[in-house]
């Protein structure tokens, strides 16, 4: 069985809904933490329920609803979610309540809603989906872990349609901690440019991207999901060899790739992984980037897959995501490569 991407939905730090492909995207060099562009939640969730939900849950529900609508389906056989930090806002609220109330008289609501699988559970409740429901919490490859699971189930004929997504949200306290330990760029820097950055730490973001994967090609199919692989640790000089063997396993060579999507996030300490590829092996290939729009977070690669799926369907690449000026007559095969702080490397391959 082959795996097709038949519907996509994305809520991010850009306006990625009710608009043409990244037409209204804004590249802001003055922010080190990007905020979500909120949709009209009341169109998807009742206001009473919405008030009790963390933004990650709401964004996940809306993104999944957009993907289902895009795929023209009412229900799916399974829901698989990837998240790095889960519902971190509710976790923060609960911990703050423990301290404020001297560990007494606590309401359990925030604790119940702070678990990582809240997003998948809420989507299932709204859709009345009683099938397989799983959440992967695996750092920067959480989304890829979910993708691999879904792909295996479709190829093994265990499911016909699966909703797969990556969701993460920012919490104020966690963001402050990330600034302290250097994961996010310091507030004192003058510019937060992602390409050619000279400072450590990343531009941070949040978002939810969902995909409907099915075993048959339809009129509204975006792309075919060829392969996904994850590797925990790699040295800078091993990346090219790994990519070549990954492509070879799919009977492809570097010259067959029509666009390469890289996870440049502005952290000068680890950009060498991407720069080596862009300047050497893939110098004749259109190279794209996306974290200047989405920010860095554990499941940011889901935003990249949303972007790559759009490119294959529209056959257009917006100027705002280009790293180099190389162009191809058609964009039929796209490779995505992501890593976070030198760990959790992932390769995803999609084709027309």
pLDDT digits 0-9 by tens, 183-235: 999 998 888 889 989 999 999 999 999 999 999 999 999 999 999 999 999 99
Superfamily of domain 225-351: Thiolase/Chalcone synthase (3.40.47.10)
* Structure tokens given for 323: 């790293």
Q: What is the pLDDT of residues 85-125, one digit of tens each?
A: 999 999 999 999 999 999 988 888 888 889 999 999 999 99
The phi-psi region of residue 219 (left if phi > 0; otherwise alpha if psi is between -120 and 50; otherwise beta) is: alpha
**Phi, psi (degrees; rounded to nearest 5) at 315:** 60, 30
Kindly state the percentage of the chain with pLDDT values over 90: 91
Mean pLDDT along residues 263-284: 95
- pLDDT averaged over the chain? 95
Nearest to 263 by CA among 157, 342, 180, 161: 342
Q: What is the pLDDT of residues 242-252, one digit of tens each?
A: 999 999 999 99
- Intervals of CATH 3.40.47.10 along the chain: 4-214, 225-351
Per-residue confidence (pLDDT) for residue 286, from 0 to 100:
97
Q: Supply the pTM of this predicted model.
A: 0.97
Residue 261 pairs in a beta bridge with: 288, 336
Count helices and strands (H / E) in the chain.
11, 10
User: With respect to CATH, is domain 4-214 assigned 3.40.47.10?
Assistant: yes
Contact 11, 208 (CB under 8 A): yes
SS (H, E, C) 122-157: HHHHHHCCCCEEEEECCHHHHHHHHHHHHHHHHHCC
Mean pLDDT along residues 250-265: 97
Nearest to 230 by CA among 116, 136, 117, 352: 136
pLDDT band at 238 (very low <50, low <70, confident <90, very high): very high
pLDDT band at 1 (very low <50, low <70, confident <90, very high): confident
Residue ranges of E strands in the chain: 4-11, 78-82, 132-136, 161-168, 207-214, 223-233, 259-262, 287-289, 333-340, 343-351
Provide the 8-state DSSP code for 204.
B
Q: What is the largest CA-CA distance in the chain?
A: 65
Nearest to 129 by CA among 166, 74, 87: 74
Contact 262, 321 (CB under 8 A): no
CA distance 274 to 241: 14
Per-residue confidence (pLDDT) for residue 305, from 0 to 100:
98
CA distance 305 to 224: 12
Mean pLDDT along residues 322-349: 96
């Amino acid at each position: 069985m082959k795996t097709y991407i038949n519907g996509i939905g994305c809520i991010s730090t850009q306006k990625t809904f009710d608009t043409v492909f990244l037409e209204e995207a804004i590249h802001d060099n003055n922010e080190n933490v990007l905020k979500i562009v909120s949709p009209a939640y009341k169109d998807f969730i009742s206001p009473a329920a919405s008030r009790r939900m963390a933004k990650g849950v709401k964004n996940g529900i809306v993104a999944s609803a957009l993907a289902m609508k895009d795929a023209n389906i009412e229900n799916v056989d399974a829901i698989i979610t990837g998240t790095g930090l889960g519902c971190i806002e509710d976790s923060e609220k609960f911990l703050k309540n423990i301290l404020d109330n001297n560990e007494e008289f606590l309401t359990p609501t925030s604790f119940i809603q702070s678990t990582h699988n809240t997003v998948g559970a809420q989507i299932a409740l709204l859709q009345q989906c009683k099938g397989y429901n799983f959440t992967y919490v695996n750092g920067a490859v959480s989304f890829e872990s979910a993708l691999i699971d879904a792909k295996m189930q479709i190829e093994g004929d265990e499911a016909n349609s699966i909703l797969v997504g990556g969701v993460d949200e920012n919490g104020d306290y966690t963001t402050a901690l990330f600034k302290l330990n250097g994961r996010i760029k310091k507030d004192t820097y003058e510019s937060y440019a992602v390409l050619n950055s000279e400072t450590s730490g990343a531009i941070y973001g949040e978002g939810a991207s969902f995909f409907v994967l099915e075993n048959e090609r339809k009129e509204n199919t975006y792309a075919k999901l060829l392969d996904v692989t994850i590797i925990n640790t790699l040295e800078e000089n091993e990346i090219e060899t790994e990519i070549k063997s990954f492509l070879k396993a799919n009977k492809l060579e570097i010259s067959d790739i029509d666009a390469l999507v890289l996870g440049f996030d502005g952290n000068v300490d680890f950009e060498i992984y991407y720069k080596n590829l862009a300047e050497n092996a893939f110098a004749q290939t259109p190279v794209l980037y996306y974290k200047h729009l989405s920010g860095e977070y554990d499941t940011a690669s889901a935003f990249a897959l949303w972007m790559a799926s759009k490119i294959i369907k529209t056959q257009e690449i917006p100027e705002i995501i280009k790293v180099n000026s190389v162009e191809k007559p058609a964009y039929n095969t796209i490779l995505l490569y992501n890593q976070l702080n030198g760990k959790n490397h992932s390769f995803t391959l999609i084709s027309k």
